[in-house]
Amino acid sequence: MKRGHFLLLAFVAVLLIAGTVFAQGDTITFLSTQFNVVEEAEKARAILAAFEGGAVEFVGSEEAAMIDLLKAEAQTGAGTVDVIGALHGTFPTLVNEDLMFDLTELLASIEEGTDVNDAFVQLGRMGTEDYQYYIPWMQATYTMAAHKDALQYLPEGADINALTWAQLAEWGKAMQEATGEPQLGFPVKGLFNRFLQGYAFPSFTGGMVTKFKSEAAVEMMRFLRDDLWPYVNPESINYDFMNGPLLSGEVMVAFDHVARLKPAFDERPQDFIAFPTPAGPAGRGFMPVVVGLGIPFTSPDPEGAEALIRFMLSPETQGAVLRDLGFYPVVSGVDTSNLPEGVAIQLGAVEALANSPDAIPALLPVGLGARGGEINEIFRNAFDRVVNKGEDIQTVLNEEAATLQTLLDETGAACWPPDAPSEGACQVE
Amino acid sequence: MKKFPVTPYLLLLPSMIYLVLFFAYPMVQSLQLALRREGQFLHLRAEPAPEAAPVGTLEMQTEVRVLDRLRTEEVLPNGRTRPIYWFQVEAEDAAGSTIQGWVSQSNVFIESRTESTTARVVSGETTQEWTLDFLRRMVTDFRFGSALGTTILLIALILPLQFVLAIIMALVLQSQIRGSTIFLYIFTLPLGISDLASGILWYSIFTQRGFLNSFLVSTGLLDQPFIFIQAGNQGWMIAAIVLAEVWRATSIVMVIVVSGLQAISRDVIEAGEVFGANLWQRLRYIILPMLKPSLQVALILRTILAFQVFAVVVALTGGNVITVLANETYRWYDPARFNNPNVAASYAGFIMLLSLGISMFYLRAVRSQEEAEKAL
């Protein structure tokens, strides 16, 4: 190698190393399991550009990769991640591994100026009384969406903002009779377990776990099998995100996560309306989904991380996230005028849902730790066996309730809302 | 005395090392995962330190009474401190006797580290023990039977179809008729497509607003799109999977058959023609018997792959109403679903045993036939 080349290479290497060191000096690394799709990540970066406390590097990640990275950083003692943004369900593993700072003081200082949703703050304590594992960042939930053509078949006297499940079934029947095709759609391949846990069971039984094999639960399964499912598009077994079937016209009315309905409202806001999920005999069960912000012990810049969390919870940033990314605020005082049409339509349905007098908020399972996925399968199995395989309802519910009880006993999980709090492991009645 | 031949073993050594490292070792590990359980217990310590002598053992989920607590601090590299608590607790062990000792905060769930008077044991040291629990859980799962049944049904439907088609396709290519090179490209096209992509492709054909329904409705054969993929009519879903799999995986059989065909000397076939054998007779008495070794290789390959069929089934049917063994393996492994690698490993071991058994059977069948022929 010529001497000149070598010098040049050495110079470039020094520049590169210096660059990374300086960049690390005042860059705050924000690792998030949300917005890890390219377009969303770009919007998130644009919002973060307004942060004045330094440059923020927004890195999208899958859940498992995030957990592995944080564990590895804790083992080596050398960290790169300052702030993490993740679903409530990601935190139990991080809590078990004892990886996160207590953010009680930070939250108290934020709450001096802004009111943060109390229910979510409570969730962020992960069952403890005085350890704030995460500060709520934003929320989402599930709503219904309908094509405007479907409204003409709405049963007489039914109020779309206060529907019952029975009226939805009637509506489905009317649409099928008029169009010759089943027009209701559910994401059975997607987040269907949340429909069962947060909507079907609470609406009919008032609980999620404790009433799993009650008479009301049997009646709910019978309703799903005999009254609702005949009018649900059979292709639902292959639906993952409902925006696709809505846009292609395979179904006219659908249930899904707001983020998974959003593309339909973005693309054709004039064609679709959003409305609250229906109510059952026990009330209007619904499941808020919460995303939290936490700081790992290994954060190289905890002051910067705290400043960034403060910024993320300001009403301005929360408004920007709602406007550009369609996730809902967790603080009060957010300006919701001037929203894009699609976002405004969905926000209306979410607010109507949360404020409806018979609402039963059902939380994501708490206290199951790494076995949180197992409860999803228990609910799905119960549904599959009754509706798709035609097994006897009470037998299925008894058997799956036994599996559920084993899971609760082995993890020692106490009951969570909407079930009443329990001493010790939650018990299926 | 004859010298021990070292060279052949040296030549085999690299591949043996490769096999042991990348096949045998992971295989043993995965079987262990299926058959061994991590039991957990917690040692109470005499002093608030991890290396202190154990004074007793508690089982998981035991409720303990907190008698005293000790707070220490660890200074982190970023300048902050991290509190570390040790609790002096009292509890009843498995034998029913009351024991006292110290536990670290990381092993118990406690509502308030500073105030709570009770806590619950949630982690500890692990022990390994042999267990059949995971196998039992696999076999008693309500999807196990239907997964096994569907996998075998698919093999029984797909394999014969594929072999008949592959032989016909290979003969077309061998016939040297005009344009047979174009057929070669058409036939081998699916080889370059991943199984998931082909599943999605066929889904877009069979779905309610898919190509097939659009065609049938626009030509007036149907008034309304017909829903092929539905729980109420599993026959259509099986048919769609069979079609997709036959389309996707027949060409690999064809490639093997073509190479087998090329190994058959033209002389033999021409001799047959001279003696007046017609096409069917040449195929039945000359070509097929001489193709047997290639067909057997293809059969083993295809059967093993058919036990692993996964992506096409999930992409076409969603994987809940119709399920196969590989899909169940993933259902148990997936962190968002069962998150139970032990039962997943049981499934993996079961698929491996089935594949091994089938391969042994084929190899045996080949050998006994050859021996029988030699004896004649």
Task: Report, as an integer, the average pLDDT of A16-41.
Answer: 73
State how far residue A203 is from chain B, nearest Cα, in angstroms.
Answer: 24
> What pLDDT does residue A25 have?
53
- Best A105, A131, A235, A366 member to test B by mutation, with max B CBs in 10 Å, is A235
> What pLDDT does residue A18 have?
45
Contact A234 B227 (CB under 8 A): yes
- Pairing of β A135-140 and β A289-294: antiparallel
Nearest CA in chain A to B209: A250
Q: Report d(CA B151, CA B162) in Å as an integer.
A: 16
The pTM of this model reads 0.82
Q: Which of A77, A127, A180 sits opposite B224 (nearest CB)?
A: A180
Q: Report d(CA A360, CA A203) in Å as an integer.
A: 8
Contact A96 B123 (CB under 8 A): yes
Contact A237 B229 (CB under 8 A): yes
Contact A235 B105 (CB under 8 A): no
pLDDT in tens, A265-274: 999 999 999 9
Q: Report d(CA B291, CA B262) in Å as an integer.
A: 10
State how far residue B230 is from chain A, nearest Cα, in angstroms.
Answer: 5
* Contact status, residue A420 vs residue A372, Cβ threshold 8 Å: no
Task: Report, as an integer, the average pLDDT of A397-404.
Answer: 94
> What pLDDT does residue A276 have?
94
Which residues of B fall within a CB distance of 8 Å from A237?
229-231, 317-318, 320-321
> What pLDDT does residue A423 have?
78
State how far residue B231 is from chain A, nearest Cα, in angstroms.
Answer: 6
Which residues of B fall within a CB distance of 8 Å from A94?
none
pLDDT bucket at B372, cuts 50 / 70 / 90: low
Nearest CA in chain A to B141: A381
> What pLDDT does residue A11 have?
54
Query: Residue A363 CA to chain centroid, in angstroms?
Result: 10
A98 touches chain B (CB under 8 A): yes
pLDDT bucket at A16, cuts 50 / 70 / 90: very low
> What pLDDT does residue B229 have?
83
The highest-confidence range among A154-163, A368-377, B113-122, B364-373, by mean pLDDT, is: A154-163
Contact A189 B320 (CB under 8 A): yes
Contact B78 A302 (CB under 8 A): yes
Q: Which domains, from first to last, does chain A contain?
A: 3-139+289-338 (3.40.190.10), 142-287+360-411 (3.40.190.10)
| pLDDT score of B212 more than 80 | yes
DSSP state of B207: S
Q: Report d(CA B170, CA A2) in Å as an integer.
A: 59
Is B194 buried (19+), middle (13-18) or exposed (0-12) by CB count in 10 A?
exposed
Q: Report d(CA A98, CA A83) in Å as an integer.
A: 16
What residues contact A87, with CB distance under 8 A and at least 6 apart? A33, A34, A63, A289, A290, A291, A292
- Best B109, B122, B146, B228 member to test A by mutation, with max A CBs in 10 Å, is B109
pLDDT in tens, A178-207: 998 899 999 998 899 999 999 999 999 999
Neighbours of B374 (CB within 10 A): 7
Q: Report d(CA B132, CA A35) in Å as an integer.
A: 42
| pLDDT score of A10 more than 60 | no
Contact B209 A248 (CB under 8 A): yes
| pLDDT score of A98 more than 50 | yes
Which residues of A fall within a CB distance of 8 Å from B223?
180
Coarse DSSP helix, strand, coil percentages of chain B, rounded to the nearest 5 percent: 60, 15, 25
Which residues of B fall within a CB distance of 8 Å from A233?
208, 227
Q: Six-digit token pair at A92?
A: 């139990």
Report the mean per-residue pLDDT for chain A: 89
State how far residue A301 is from chain B, nearest Cα, in angstroms.
Answer: 7
pLDDT in tens, A49-88: 999 988 999 999 888 789 889 999 999 988 999 999 998 8
pLDDT bucket at B37, cuts 50 / 70 / 90: confident
Q: Report d(CA A155, CA A173) in Å as an integer.
A: 10
A15 touches chain B (CB under 8 A): no
B95 or B331, higher pLDDT: B331
- Which residues numbered 368-427 in A keep a CB inside 8 Å of some CB on B? 370-374, 376-377, 380-381, 384-385, 387-388, 409-410, 412, 424-425
Q: Six-digit token pair at A306?
A: 């705290």
Contact A385 B112 (CB under 8 A): no
Q: Report d(CA A148, CA B344) in Å as an integer.
A: 45
Q: Report d(CA B198, CA B220) in Å as an integer.
A: 28
Percentage of chain A surpassing pLDDT 70?
A: 94
- Best B71, B78, B328, B334 member to test A by mutation, with max A CBs in 10 Å, is B78
> What pLDDT does residue B47 have?
87
pLDDT bucket at A242, cuts 50 / 70 / 90: very high
> What pLDDT does residue A19 have?
45
Q: Give the DSSP letter string of B126-169.
A: EEEEE-SHHHHHHHHSHHHHHHHHHHHHHHHHHHHHHHHHHHHH
Q: Which of A128, A248, A373 sits opposite B337 (nearest CB)?
A: A373
pLDDT in tens, B300-327: 999 999 998 999 999 998 888 899 999 9
Percentage of chain B surpassing pLDDT 70?
A: 97
As for the ipTM of the complex, it is 0.80
Buried b (16+ CB within 10 A) or exposed e, B280-314: eebbeebbeebbeebbbbbbbebbbebbbbbbbbb
Percentage of chain A surpassing pLDDT 90?
A: 62
Which residues of B fall within a CB distance of 8 Å from A235?
207-208, 227, 229-230
Which residues of B fall within a CB distance of 8 Å from A380?
320
Which residues of B fall within a CB distance of 8 Å from A372?
339
A423 or B284, higher pLDDT: B284
| pLDDT score of A143 more than 50 | yes
Q: Which domains, from first to last, does chain B contain?
A: 43-127 (no CATH), 135-375 (1.10.3720.10)
**Ramachandran sector of residue A326 (left: φ over 0; alpha: ψ -120 to 50; beta: rest):** left
**DSSP reduced 3-state for B195:** helix
Contact A388 B321 (CB under 8 A): yes
> What pLDDT does residue B376 have?
56
Q: Which of B82, B111, B336 sits opposite A129 (nearest CB)?
A: B111
Task: Report, as an integer, the average pLDDT of B138-162.
Answer: 93
Nearest CA in chain B to A130: B112
pLDDT in tens, A314-364: 999 999 999 888 899 999 888 888 888 989 999 999 988 888 888 888 987
State how far residue A260 is from chain B, nearest Cα, in angstroms.
Answer: 18
State how far residue B306 is from chain A, nearest Cα, in angstroms.
Answer: 22
> What pLDDT does residue B39 have?
77
A30 or B60, higher pLDDT: A30
The 3-class SS string of chain A reads CCHHHHHHHHHHHHHHHHHHHHHHHHEEEEEECCCCCHHHHHHHHHHHCCCCCCEEEEEECCHHHHHHHHHHHHHHCCCCCCEEEEEHHHHHHHHHCCCECCCHHHHHHHHCCCCECHHHHHHHCCCCCCCCCCEEEEEECEEEEEEHHHHHHCCCCCCHHHCEHHHHHHHHHHHHHHHCCCCEECCCCCCHHHHHHHHHHHHHHCCCCCCCCCHHHHHHHHHHHHHHHHHECHHHHHCCCCHHHHHHCCCCEEEEEHHHHHHHHHHCCCCEEEECCCEECCEEEECCEEEEEECECCCCCHHHHHHHHHHHCCHHHHHHHHHHHCCECCECCCCCCCCCHHHHHHHHHHHHHHHCCCEEECCCCCCCHHHHHHHHHHHHHHHHHHHHCCCCHHHHHHHHHHHHHHHHHHHCCCCCCCCCCCCCCCCCC
Which residues of A fall within a CB distance of 8 Å from B330?
none
Task: Report, as an integer, the average pLDDT of A153-157.
Answer: 92
* Contact status, residue B147 vs residue B323, Cβ threshold 8 Å: yes
State how far residue A184 is from chain B, nearest Cα, in angstroms.
Answer: 14
Neighbours of B356 (CB within 10 A): 11
